Amino acid sequence: MAILSEEKIFSTAEAIILSKGINKTTLLDIAKRLGVTHAALYKHFKNKEDLLQKLALKWLENTSRPLLEWSPKEHEDAETALHDWLWLLNLTKRDLYINHQKMFLLYTNYIETNSSLVSNHLNHLAKKVEEISGWENQGMAVMTAFTYFHNPYFAERWSNSDHQALFEQVWSVVCKSIQCIRHVQAK
């Protein structure tokens, strides 16, 4: 028998989830497909919920990696860099929704029901905002202002013809607000 790895379990679970859905997928289904007993899965995961959480987190980390590893262009000012990163965030989420819709919907629906996964993801994004912009303690406010452009709830609207214009309008308001806050803090 081949060595049972988390990767092999993840890929098998993902295939079954795609065909049956999250709610109808059982550990027994996964074990049968892998040719092991369901008890063998407990060496890797406490239960189905633990497997689903780790699978969703893995998907979130993989799809977020380009965003979290992104660096501004050399000599690019912080505001332009942040604008470009926020637009990349939007494009990344939109691409996942359009080109990988079934997985996007499966994982985002699952993730949205787990507040700790959502908080953790938003905190990583907010820290990246602060890292790019240098705007201390403003990351979560910026992420909140751009909710429409990254929250899966709004995914169906991301292909609207006025989408980029709306993004630029929100960017303008947020940028002016941050500049105002900086001006007041400098006094």
Tell me the CATH number at 95: 1.10.357.10
Q: How high is the pLDDT of residue 36?
A: 94
pLDDT tens track for 77-110: 989 999 999 999 999 999 999 998 888 888 888 8
Total of domains in the chain: 1
Q: How high is the pLDDT of residue 110?
A: 82
Q: How high is the pLDDT of residue 107?
A: 83
- 15, part of any domain: no
Q: Which residues of the chain are under the pLDDT cut of 70?
A: 1-2, 180-187
Q: How high is the pLDDT of residue 2?
A: 62
Please compute Rg for the chain using Cα positions: 20
Q: How high is the pLDDT of residue 1?
A: 53
Q: How high is the pLDDT of residue 181?
A: 66
- 180, part of any domain: yes
CA-CA distance, 100 to 94, in Å (whole number)?
Answer: 10
Q: How high is the pLDDT of residue 68?
A: 94
- 135, part of any domain: yes
- 65, part of any domain: no
Buried b (16+ CB within 10 A) or exposed e, 79-115: bebbbebbbebbebbbebbeeeeeebebbbebbeeee
- 33, part of any domain: no
Q: How high is the pLDDT of residue 27?
A: 95
- 138, part of any domain: yes
Q: How high is the pLDDT of residue 15?
A: 94
- 68, part of any domain: no
Domain that holds residue 131: 73-186
Q: How high is the pLDDT of residue 105?
A: 84
